[in-house]
Structure formats: C-alpha cells, structure tokens
Structure 1
Amino acid sequence: MSLLTNILTELQDRIAAGESLLILHTDDEPRAAEAIGQLAEKLQRNMHTWSLSTGLQPANDPHLQQLRTPAEFLREVRTAEPGQLFLAKDLQYFLTDFSVIRLLQDQAQTYQGNPLLLVGPEFSLPPSLAKVVSVLSLPLPDFEEIAGCLAETLACLPTPPRISRSFQERMVKSVIGLSLQQARRAYQRVLHGRQDVGEEVMTQLISEKKSLLQGSNLLEFHELGETADDIGGLEGLKEWINRRAKAFSPEARKRNVGQPKGVLLLGVQGCGKSLSARVIARQLSFPLIRLDFGNLLQGERGSSEQNLREVLRMMDGIAPAVLWIEELDKGFSGLSAEEENRDAVLARMFGLFLTWMQEHTTPIFVVATANAIENLPPELLRRGRFDELFFIDLPNFHERKHIYRIHLSRRGCNPEDYNIEELSDKTEGYSGAEIEQIVNSAVIDAYTRDCLPTQKDLLDTADLIVPLSITMEEKVFNLREWAKSRCRPATPDSRIMRMIEDEHRKGELMSEESEFEDPWMEPLRTGDLPGAILEFVRATDHVTFPKLVQAFSTHVPTTGTAALTLESDPLVILWQGLDSQFAEAIAKYINNKRFFLNPVDVAHYQKLGTVLKLPYIPQLKDKPMPREVWYPCLLRIMPPREGSGRLRNVVVHHEG
C-alpha cells in the first residue's frame, strides 16, 4: 500500500467519523485535487473547489460563481445540501480574519456536516482552530507515481527516444523527492528534442533537486561531472559501490533487502576521497549534498543542535540523496579528549547524528571522509554505523599510470606520446593530487613557450615537488598500520600488485607468454572468469574479440550463439558467435567500467583476417539502426579520448 493510499484512507476514516474540517499540507495542488476527487467519488459525494481566482467550481448557477470572498464561501458550505465535499485552496491567507476563524470553528464543530478540506503549503493556525482541526500531510509521490509520470511524458513526445528499463528506473529514482509537477517539468525539459538519452540526462535530472536547498546556508548542492573513469584505480571501492547501488532498486525493496547506510573513506590527503564521493553519487544517480560541520556551530545555546536537526530534516525531504560529510574527523575533533574535557555541544550533536544514522528510513547514503584517525570517536567506527570502512592509500604503479593518462588527456596531451611507465616509476609515493599538480604545472610552463610539455618537463616538475609521503612520513605510516586490520583496501590485492609491478620494472618477469599467464591464469584457475578477462586486457591492451576468444578457448568455452550488442541499440553488434557465459563475463566488466570499448578502423580486423559477415559502420549513428550492423571495437583499460558515450553499456543477446 502506497503512502498516498494511506493518507486517503485516513481522510476517509475521519470523514466517516464525522469530522467536518481537515487540513492537507502540500505544495502540489493539482495532485491533491486529483486525489481528493478520487476520494469524493469513492464516498459518493459531489466535489466542489474554491479559490480566490475562480470562486466556487463547478457552479450550478451564476450566484455560486460569485462567491469570491472566504466568508461568502464558508457560509455556502454551511448551508449546502448534504452529500457534498468542498476543497478550498487559498484560505491559509485569511487565518488572521476573525470572521473567517469563527466560520471555520463553526464548521469544525458541525458533526457529520459536509466535509471541508483546506489545501496549501503552510498554515499558521490560531490556537482556537489548532485544537479542533486535524492536520495531515500529502506525501511526496513514490516510485510508481513518478514512473507513471515518466511514461506519460514519453507517450506525449512526437518521437520518444528508446530507453532501456534499467535506465528508466534510474531516471525515476533521480527525481524522487520532487513534486509530481516538478518531476513532469524536469522530464519535459531534458527529453525535449532528444533521440538519444545518456548520462548527461541523469546529471540534468539530479540537478533539479537544487531548488529544494534554496535559502539554506547549511547544505551545499554539488553538480555531478565526474564518472568512475575519472578515478585512477580504486577498483575495490568502485566494485563495492556498483553492488550497493542495486540495493536501492525497486526489486530490492520488494524483496525487503536492507538499505545501505553509507561508507567512511579514510586515507592520505590528496588520494581521491572527495572525488570518490562525487563519483559515488553519480553511480547511485543521487544528488550530492555537502555538509560542513563548521557551518552548524553557533554561539547561542541550542542553536547548533537545532541546525543539525534542520539539516537532517531537509535531507529526509530531499531523499534519495548522498550526504557528503567532508573531513568528519575535524567536525568531531572535540570528542577525542578525556570525558571531563569533552565539548558538551559536540557530544549532543554527535549523539543526535548517530541516532539518525541508526534509525532513518529514507534512502540517504552517507559518504564521510577523514584524514586523521586519532580525532574519530570510537563509537563512529563501530560496525553498523557505516556499511564499510575503506582505506584509500597512495596510488600504486598501475594506478599512477592511469592518473597520468587521465590528467594528460584532460589537458589536450596524448598519453601515447609520453613514457607513462617512466613517469609512474619516478613518482612512487606521490598522491593523485600531487600527480595532477605535476601535469598542470608542466602544461602551464609549456603554454608560455607555445608548445606542449615534453617528457623532460614532466620529470623536472616532479623533482620540484616533495610529496606528503616524505614530509608527513610518520603520519602516513601510522595511518597505514591502523588501517591494516580495520579497513577494507580501496585497491584490491595491492600487495600482490606491487610485487608484480616491482618485478616488471626490474625486468624479472620471464617470457611474454609467462607474463600473460601471471596476471590472468591465476583468477581463471579459481573460477573467476570476469577477473581473468580483466587481467588479460590489462596485460595485453588493444584486445580484439578474436584474440580474446583464441586466448581463452583452450581453458573455457568461448564460442556459441550469443552476441554482444549496445544497450542503447541492440542492432549494433560488437561481436557475435560467443559462448553465453563468456559474453556475460565481458559485458559485466564493460558495464562496471573495468575496461572499455574503443572504436577502431575496420582495417585493423581485416589485417587479422577476422571480420563479421555484417555491414559495418565507421561511427555510431544518432538514430537507431534499421537492421543489424557491426561496429568494430577493441577492449582497452583506458576509455576513448572523446569519452565512452553509448559504448558504456552493453547487453548479451542470443542469436536465432
């Protein structure tokens, strides 16, 4: 049973019990009028609506239409024949008028009279009315109502875009918390004139919730620009978030799956904690709301606690959302002292925050970041507060290469023109922020010379920067030691990865064949086919589908009747003739952004003598294809320079 149904049932029960005056809080008048109309029909009563602009509608005679003043309207309610139900839209503006108050009191005290419902966003009731009137709130539209709104909007478009069911669910989830009117306007705005729907639509829809924070200086709305592609490494954290995102789906709710509460990101400064918060919001398709605890603290007694209550109330109204608390350790630093020296205000706020985290039922995912463990209260780290504690360490060799590629590409430099391995080797112990600073400084210096930075420019710039791992060596060491047994690493198997990297850099790996075997044979032996494919792509790069099939064909079934296609257009074939499980394993890690599809000229496949017997297209079309076509692609660890776009999501289809 939906929340709207619950409210209508309560209204029906109160009217049946003889109540004649009721108030319904809502910002969405049309939705309230429609719901009350359904109630009037169920009660077999004639519904009449009054407002300042229209008078009483429907009006059976011209006299009724002239009832524009509140007093005239209320007298008509009192004298109308039985079997009516009245809805008033503007009476909240006249609750200081004594004659209006008197007439409303008389209406409230009339047992079994024609019911009068007052609808509006806010009612400041005088004491005499507050004691005799029942006040209810119309709940915001739920998933099913918003889904219906999206379906209606799509049906009204001249040529609606093709949107997968999973993407429609994300579009619905992104605007929950808005009124039905706001959601409809948002859909109309972002879908107008579109034939293709992608991530930019999600960003625009999520931004619609910014209006809910207008007038607040306690919370800050953050636009979502980053994706998982913008983070170098942290694969363990990315995979974990992908799994948690599914727990917010309608299917999960139907199966009573517990709602994720949040994650605490602990780590060295500049290693991507704040960027991770923004990417988490993007992956969940939730708006990102930032809270600075310093803004809550005020000098007046009780004001700080009241600010926190207001923040939590607003978050419950905005939900679903990600609440980003940056540097939580600084916000609660006064709680790390001995009991007698504890800050009493912070202690009360901390208790309120913990209670809310434990008891809130709205879909709010908390992402808290921290740099210093000594300032974190032990109660906060207890299991059950957060779903997981992740430690974000300094990037390893492979992650540093990824970070260099990201920042060079952003600044118009082709990563293939640089010795990325040398740069990564040179900057061992540097954070992601420090690597970004190296690239940015080198690009600026080169710009003054009207050229692009050289390899030497980047190496020389790196020499000028002393990393935090040296200036704060002891603190970084202590943080790592503390996290070893308490936190989950954001980068999986980092110790093994470092050993392989060290061997690779020292030239101690054996033959090329053995080099392939080390990364991908081990997960294959343990039955982890997706992990084996990932390691193969990492080790090989520029992987064609025939090459992948050939490499795995002696170990697992690779050929069959399955085809890998674009989710946005299933007639665009990426490869066919694959074993179903093998295709699903490839699709899983493309969709999870562990490796990426990169377009390639068909000549690349022709040289290998392996092409599909389908017409091929050199680039994706804006409109859906009328028949099956082949779009040649490679599998790579890096996304295309222009971004993945429609290549982000693929599906597996069975031929025949």
Structure 2
Amino acid sequence: MTKDEFLQELEVLIRARYGIILINTLEEERALDLLKSMAAKLNKRLLTWSCTKGLTMNDDQAIDPNTVDLMTAIAKVEQLAEEPSLFVWLDLQSHLNSSPVYVRRFKELSQEIRERMPSNSIIVGPLADIPVELQKEVTIIDMPYPDLAELKSIISQFAKQYADRTELNIDCSDPTLDALGRAAIGLSKTEIENCLAKSLVKNKGISRQDIDFILEEKKQNIRKAGILEYVETENLETNDIGGLDNLKKWLEIRKQAYTPEAEQFGIGWPKGVLLVGIPGCGKSLSAKCVAAAWKMPLLRLDLGRVFGMYVGTSEANIRQALAMCEAVSPSILWIDEIEKALSGQASSSQTDGGTTSRVFGTILTWMQEKKSPVFVFATANNIASLPPELLRKGRFDEIFFVDLPNEQEREEIFRIHIKRIKRDPDQFDIGKMVKLSGESTWGDGVRLTGSEIEACVNQALLEAFFVKNSAVHPEEDVTTADFERAILQSVPLSRVRKEDIGYMRNWAMENAVRASLTPEQVMTAAVGSASASEVTGGRSIDF
C-alpha cells in the first residue's frame, strides 16, 4: 500500500464513521502529522490522548489534567464527541489488555460513536493482541513506510535547514536526493533524520556518503528484530566464485532489473533463485557474492529462530521477518538449507499441531504474492526433502543445479585460494593439481568440491610452514608437491556419497538448469582445458 492509498482508505473509514480504527505503525510522530492534515481536510478537531498528558488539543493544549486516567478520558470524550472530532489514542493497547473494565468502557464508547456521533476513535501504535471483545469493533489499517517521493522530500527539508551554513557541505541536487532516498527505503522519518544528523556531525555535510550511515541504520533495525541475521559482504565479488558461469550470467541479467531504466521499461522485480546441489560447491558463497555485487543488504533467515514456544508465536515471527525484508528492500533474503526446516511439514499436524505447515504456507504465499524488491536466494543440499510446492514455477524464477567443479572451475578455485594465501598461482603447476583433484584419480563422477580444494590449500600451507620452521629446511616455502600430497590424502565427499550424487544429477537433468558451463561450452570459449568426459548434471540454458 502506498501513502496515497493509505490516506484514501483512512478517509473512507473516517467518513463511514467506523468506531475504532487502528493504525498499525511504529512511526507515531509521522502518523500524527498525517492525521493533522486529514483532520483539517475533513474539518474536524484533532484531540490526542496519552497516559502522561491525558487529552490534549493541538499537541499541547490540555483539556483536563484528570484525563490522564483512562476512564475519566473516555467519559470526557463522550461529551466532546458531539462535535466532529478525531480522537487519537497513543498508549491504549497496554491499558486495554490490563483490565476488562477498560475494554468494556472503550467498547461502549465505540458503539456510541458509531450510532450517533460524528467522530472517530483512532488507535496509533504497533499491532498487539486485540481483546476478543473488541475484535468486531476494530478496523486495522497498516501505515506504509515513506515511499521514494516522500523520502526525498524528508531529506530535502532536513538539508535545507542547514543550506545557509557555510561551514557545512550540503548537496541537495536531484541525483543525491534520489540516491539517498533509494538507500533509505524501509526507514522511518525519525531514523532518516538521525542518519542525516550523524552525517552533519561526522562529515560536516550531507552527500552521497550518507548511504553508509543509512545502511548501518538498517543493520541496527535487523539486529533489533532478532530473527534475521545481517550478513556482511564487504570485500567480496563474483570473481570470488570459481566457475558457475551460467549462474553468474543469469544473475548479471537479473541485476539490471533493479535499475530505474528497467522500471520505466516495465520490467518487474525478479522473484529469486533456488540453488540445489552438492555441499561445499559454492552455493552459500554465491549468495554473499551476489549481495556484494548488487550492493544490497543480505539477510539470512534462520528458520530455527522462527519457531517459538507459544501458540501463534512462530507464525507471528515469520510475518515479522518477511515484513522486515520488505522494509529494507531492495534486499536479498538468503534461506540456507531450506529443506532442513521444511522437510517435516508433511507430518506437521501430528508433531507440532500444524505450526510448520502454517509457517511453510506463509512463506510460499509471500514468495508468490510479494510486490517489494526482495530477491529470495535459497539453497538446498537434499532434493528429496524439498516439498513439491516449493519447486513449481512462480516461487522462483529458476532452479539451478550446482555440481562438482569441472576442470576449468577447479583451476579457478585453486587460483583463488592460492592468491588468498598471498602466493602467485603461476609459480605452481596448476594443471597437474587440477588433474589430480578430478576423475583421473578417483574415477567417473568423483572429484573434489570447492571447499575440499580450499582445505587442501590450507593443509599444504600448514605443512609447509611446519617444514620451514624446522631446522632441516629453513628456506622452504609451499610447493606444488605440498598441494599434491594434500590432495591425495583427501577423501572426497563425492566418493562417499556417489550414489546420492548420481540420483541428484539424474533429477537435475529434468528439473534444474546447470549452474556451470558444459565442457563443450568451455572448450568452445577457450576458457580452459575441460574434459568432455566429466560427468555433469542439469539442463543447458541459452541466453
């Protein structure tokens, strides 16, 4: 819902004399500003009640100090409601839940307003448990976060206050306002103004550099929620992924959908991607590198944190997590090993009263219907545990199968990790290491994963360090022989789980796109020396 749609709906509810309207928001100050404008438009008085000031008019004009007491305040409102008014209640929900007397009294007020008084009661605050007795009386309307136009206006108004200060560097150009506004989507007015104030103190100005402060504010919001984890992606890029060129190209195309030009062209937001395949082959790393390349926050959803002790808590937690993803959008929601959390949903009604099924249903519905630019990046290792509802078209834009790295990819992976240990890859016989880590050593379909290659590099470096620090070879450095020895000492996962991997490859030929280039594509592009005999699963894709 946009701001204009929210105001239109609110006006309709007020004109229709709804007795109780609950505006679900944490932005109390902004909600009051909007209600002041609405009251002026409808030619109604605006009176506000809080537990510290009681009833006030025009922010600070006290009606009666005794109205700090809720029962007294309701009685006073009954007297004032004969004149067209909007009564805004700020601290009401905790009071209603504390005593049935308050619930009954407020319900009577609501009924009187609905039947004969030209006024409305409007509760402002976050949605909490509504007493059962009031549920038929209350109409809930969610106040959206500021949209791009409103954000640019908030930033511009704040910046113009300091435009005459010669010691400050204030940039109010349209490109800067647009960049800051887009970065601030999902923040409240107060949070944005805090970020800008911080920039004035620290950077002596307002400019595009404030994007860093805005992103830090978003991190704080995510940490407060406690269900999502903000994953740092600094110093990462897609080149840190060895191979997976089909996946990289597909993601590069989707990245363009988040540009203003794509929006004007009529392109919608991508839904997401599901990566299935063998553990240790770069699925999780891909999520981090994509977030870094797209310059979007990466939010990891741990479904284990979603499930709570009490009835209804789990469903509320998942709704809160998904709302947070939308609030900080554009963003990437990373659900790692999704099959582990959802594998028991088929028998959920017998084991947990259906909680898992309801959480799963909430996720599926949101994935299908979401309108915000949240890209879902899900990974799975065990395809047999994936619910069929998750795999159908409409949940994800595509399903990719990540197989064991082929020769060209293993070469890239060796080079990446050798550079990581601050050595020159060209000083080693990479080709020999690539051959040794593949099917020529362990047989058809068996080769090292990316994480196993990383472990071999680390092991070789450690052993070389031990030799270097002995009295026998003080000048020794890590050599190709060290890497070869570490490779041969490995026990590949693909050897232990050869049958399982064979099943996954057969499944991928019908249900998923190959994340890597085929050996023929590698050879045609002259990107290495991949062997056409290497076993690879998944369908080909043309761009």
Instruction: Give the TM-score of the pair, scaled to structure 2.
Output: 0.74
Partner of residue 462, structure 1 = 487
Instruction: Give the Å deviation of 1:489.
Output: 2.4
Alignment correspondent of 1:440: 458
Q: Among residues 238, 256, 260, which one is paired with 2:270 in the alignment?
A: 260
Q: CA deviation at 1:388?
A: 0.7
**What is the DSSP-based 3-state SS (H/G/I as helix, E as strand, rest coil) of the residue aligned with 2:233?**
coil
TM-superposed deviation, 1:315 = 0.9
Q: After alignment, is 402-411 or 123-132 more displaced?
A: 123-132
Query: Aligned residue for 2:255?
Result: 245
Letter in 1 for 2:95: F
Contact 2:17 2:119 in 1 (8 A): no
SS in 2 for 1:247: helix
Alignment-mate amino acid for residue 222 of structure 2: K
Contact 1:427 1:462 in 2 (8 A): yes
Provide, for residues 210-250 of structure 1, a one-character-per-residue CA deviation record: whole Å limited to 9, x for no partner.
Answer: 23532x4xx54433343323222323222222322343456
**What letter is aligned with 1:465?**
S
1:274 aligns with 2:284: yes
Change (3 A) 1:470 1:106: closer
Q: 1:20 to 1:436 in 2, by over 3 A?
A: same
For residues 510-553 of structure 1, what are the alpha-carbon distances to aligned partners after superposition, in whole Å with 9 as ceiling and x for unaligned?
A: xxxxxxxxxxxxxxxxxxxxx9xxxxxxxxxxxxxxxxxxxxxx
Alignment match, 2:223: 211
- Contact 1:190–1:204 (Cα < 8 Å) also in 2: no
Which SS does the other structure have where 2:169 is aligned? Answer: coil
Report the counterpart of residue 189 of structure 2 in structure 1: 180
Contact 2:48/2:59, CA 8 A, preserved across alignment = no
**Does 2:419 match 1:409?**
yes
Q: Distance in 1 between matches of 2:232 and 2:287?
A: 12
Query: In the alignment, is the contact (CA less than 8 A) between 1:70 and 1:100 conserved in 2?
Result: no
Alpha carbons of structure 1 residues 164 and 501: separation in structure 2 relative to 1, 3 Å: farther
Structure 1: how far apart are the matches of 2:142 and 2:237? Answer: 38
Q: Distance in 1 between matches of 2:186 and 2:60?
A: 39
- After the TM superposition, which of the residue ranges 341-350 and 399-408 deviates more from structure 2? 341-350
Q: Secondary structure at the match of 1:109?
A: helix
Q: What corresponds to 1:224 in structure 2?
A: 233
Q: Deviations over 1:456-478 (max 9, x none)?
A: 33333223223334444444444
Q: 1:287 to 1:459 in 2, by over 3 A?
A: same
CA deviations 1:483-507 (Å, max 9, x no partner) are 345432223354331477698699x
Q: 2:516 aligns with which of 488, 491, 494?
A: 491
Deviations 1:540-568 (A, max 9, x none): xxxxxxxxxxxxxxxxxxxxxxxxxxxxx
| CA distance 1:484–1:249, change in 2 (3 Å) | same
> For the residues of structure 2 that align with 1:290 and 1:174, how far apart are their CA atoms?
19
| 1:253/1:270 CA distance change after superposition, 3 Å | same
Instruction: Please give the alpha-carbon distance, in whole angstroms, between the structure 1 residues aligned to 2:170 and 2:280.
Output: 44
Structure 2: how far apart are the matches of 1:183 and 1:59? 23
Give 3-state SS (helix, strand or coil) of 2:333's partner. Answer: strand
Alignment correspondent of 2:322: 315
Bigger relative contact order, structure 1 or 2, given CA contacts below 8 A and separation 6+? 2
- Per mean C-alpha deviation after superposition, the further-off stretch among 258-267 and 172-181 is 172-181
- Contact preservation (8 Å) 2:464, 2:478: yes
Match of 1:383 among 367, 388, 393: 393
**In 1, are the aligned partners of 2:325 and 2:333 still within 8 Å (CA)?**
no
Describe the SS at the equivalent of 2:375: strand
Farther-moved stretch of structure 1 (58-67 vs 142-151)? 58-67
Instruction: Summarize deviations over 1:40-95 as a string: whole Å, max 9, x none.
Output: 22123343434344452448977757754444544444444835444332233432
Shift in Å, 1:147 = 4.1
In the alignment, structure 2 segments of 5+ residues that lack a partner are 439-446, 470-475, 532-542
2:10 is matched with which residue? 11
Superposed CA deviations along residues 295-332 of structure 1, whole A, max 9, x for unmatched, are: 6679x9x96x9735742453134313433332334445
Q: Secondary structure of the equivalent of 1:365?
A: strand
CA spacing shift, 1:223–1:210, aligned 2, 3 Å:
farther
CA contact (8 A) 1:358 1:385 kept: yes
Q: Deviations over 1:329-361 (max 9, x none)?
A: 444556899xxx999967776666544433444
CA 1:202–1:394 in 2, change beyond 3 Å: closer, same or farther?
Answer: farther
Shift in CA distance, 491/344, structure 1 to aligned 2, threshold 3 Å: farther
Letter matched to residue 28 of structure 1: E
Aligned equivalent of 1:427: 437
The amino acid that maps onto 1:490 is A
Residues 110, 137 of structure 2: 8 Å contact kept = no
Aligned counterparts of 1:461 and 1:373: Cα–Cα separation in 2? 31
Indicate how the Cα distance of structure 1 residues 93 and 500 shifts in structure 2: closer, same or farther if over 3 A, else same: closer
Structure 1 pair 54–246 and aligned structure 2 pair: CA distance change class (3 A):
farther
CA contact (8 A) 1:242 1:283 kept: no
SS in 1 for 2:117: coil
Fraction of identical pairs, as percent: 31
One-letter code of the match for 1:270?
G
Q: Distance in 1 between matches of 2:53 and 2:344?
A: 59
User: Aligned residue for 1:90?
Assistant: 91
Q: How does 1:71-220 map to 2 (within 5 A)?
A: 71-80=71-80, 82=83, 84-95=85-96, 96=98, 98=101, 102=105, 105-106=108-109, 108-110=111-113, 111-122=116-127, 124-152=129-157, 158-160=168-170, 165=175, 172=181, 175-186=184-195, 189=198, 192-193=202-203, 197=209, 204=216, 206-211=218-223, 213-214=225-226, 216=227, 219-220=228-229
Name which of 335, 339, 343 aligns with 1:325: 335
Post-superposition Cα deviations, 1:596-620, rounded to whole Å, max 9, x if no partner, equal xxxxxxxxxxxxxxxxxxxxxxxxx
Structure 1 unmatched runs, 5+? 507-530, 532-656
* RMSD over aligned Cα atoms: 4.4
Deviations 1:363-388 (A, max 9, x none): 43322222344444445433333211
Report the CA distance shift for 1:58/1:350 in structure 2 as closer, same or farther (over 3 A). closer
